[in-house]
Amino acid sequence: MQQTKKNQGFTLIELMVTVAIMAIIATMAAPSFGDMLTKQNLKTTTYNMRDTLKEARSRAMLNRNETIVCTSMNKSAVVVTEAGCGAVLTNYSTTMKESLKKDSVFIVNVDKKVNLKTTSDDSFVFSPRGNLDSSKEITFCSSAGSYILTVGISGTVEISQGAAC
């Protein structure tokens, strides 16, 4: 009596076909994954700016002193330093204490793939009452779209989705 051995495992051709199908699926998913990362970086930068603006407004009222929020790169793509950002504040370089300087200057990191477009200056200065001198708008752009961040005179922050840049 002859015993038949059951075939166990996969043949080489079956494995090669499976790997080829997986490679095709991966190449189709790669571009959309890159777009997803770009969109997420844009959204993260925008929401970090919103949260920092709210924090700066609270600190201005708490310390009863002006606070300023700047982006790490201005609209001319120049790196912004803490001293350069703080120089806009009254008494920053003369009589302001070091501890108050740290509580008065906020710099928001902007991703390298995100561009700034603004109709006003690049900084937001909150008065000791938590107000701005005028409402301001800043647009964060990338290849995935844009977000418009609007700050009212009272310090309220709104985010809306913009068109392509």
Residue ranges and CATH numbers for the domains of the chain are: 34-162 (3.55.40.10)
pLDDT at 16: 92
For residue 127, which phi and psi values (nearest 5 degrees)?
Answer: -75, 170
Let me know: does 129 contact 111? Beta carbons within 8 Å.
no
Q: pTM for this structure? A: 0.77
Q: Kindly tell me if the per-residue pLDDT of 141 is higher than 60.
A: yes
Q: Kindly tell me if the per-residue pLDDT of 18 is higher than 80.
A: yes
pLDDT exceeding 90 applies to what percent of the chain? 41
Other CB atoms closer than 10 Å to residue 43's CB: what's the count?
18
Q: What is the pLDDT of residues 74-119, one digit of tens each?
A: 777 788 888 888 888 887 777 778 878 788 899 999 888 888 887 6
Residue from 118, 113, 123 nearest 145 by CA: 113
Q: What is the pLDDT of residues 67-83, one digit of tens each?
A: 999 988 877 778 888 88
Size (the chain), residues? 165
pLDDT at 91: 79
pLDDT-derived band at 3, boundaries 50, 70, 90: low
pLDDT at 7: 67
